[in-house]
Amino acid sequence: MKVGIYPGSFDPVTLGHMDIIERSRSMFDVLIVGVLQNIAKQSLFTIDERVDMLKELTKNMEQVKIMSFTGLLVDFARKNNAQFIVRGLRSVTDFEYELQMAQGNRHLAPELDTLFLAAETKHAFVSSSAVKEIATYGGEVAGLVPDAILDKIYEKLGRGVNP
Ligand code: PNS
């Protein structure tokens, strides 16, 4: 069984994340989307909310499983017999951080490889932090996140420029 893990905070999930899930899922028998429960970092959405949103958005994607994890990614990967980590790359800035993380993970678990997918150009500036900042100050986040979660973001942060 070829098992891949796509890890992240997904606070909230963006169209960039959805694109990586959609493009990478066919590479594996099972693609686990691993949602990090980071006790050291305050999140906008609770871990249950993030997991539920992703479950709803991927309910028709057969090989995709949504799970939460805490602690080290390599431990989560080993527990689930994954051989690959998937990450999206938007920019050179991402690359520096991602390379370090991939090398750190290989140091900890030499049997694990990280695969990088280049983000679509239209998603190059899309990040969960940007979405939160734009929505906080009343900007429009439609087109940056799945339509199905727009209301959830507006519920937490206000309605932005939408009527
Ligand atoms: O979407 P994000 O927030 O950029 O995802 C970062 C994530 C979850 C992939 C990363 O922070 C992570 O793997 N955290 C788990 C802790 C860990 O394994 N750290 C060692 C990395 S070498």
In ligand 1, the atom with minimum distance to the C-alpha of 101 is 22
Tell me if 3 sits within 8 A of 32, measured CB to CB.
yes
In ligand 1, the atom with minimum distance to the C-alpha of 34 is 8
Task: Give Cβ neighbours of residue 145 (< 8 Å, ≥ 6 apart).
Answer: 12, 13, 14, 15, 131, 153
- Note the pLDDT tens digit of each residue in 37-58: 988 889 999 999 999 999 999 9
- Ligand 1 pocket test, pick from 10, 36, 100 with the greatest ligand atom count within 8 Å of Cβ, gives 36
Q: 126 to each of 28, 122, 156, how far by Cα in Å? A: 25, 8, 19
Please work out whether the CB of residue 101 comes within 6 Å of at least one atom of ligand 1.
yes
Q: Where are the beta strands (DSSP E) in 13-120?
A: 30-36, 64-69, 84-89, 113-118
Nearest to 7 by CA among 51, 73, 95, 82: 73
**Burial (Cβ within 10 Å: 0-12, 13-18, ≥19) of residue 115:** middle
pTM of the model: 0.96
- pLDDT > 70? residue 162: no
In ligand 1, the atom with minimum distance to the C-alpha of 85 is 9
Distance 97 CA to ligand 1 centre (A): 10
pLDDT at residue number 135:
93
- pLDDT > 90? residue 18: yes
Cα–Cα distance measured from residue 145 to residue 104, given in angstroms and rounded to the nearest whole number: 30
Cα–Cα distance measured from residue 65 to residue 76, given in angstroms and rounded to the nearest whole number: 14
Please work out whether the CB of residue 99 comes within 6 Å of at least one atom of ligand 1.
no
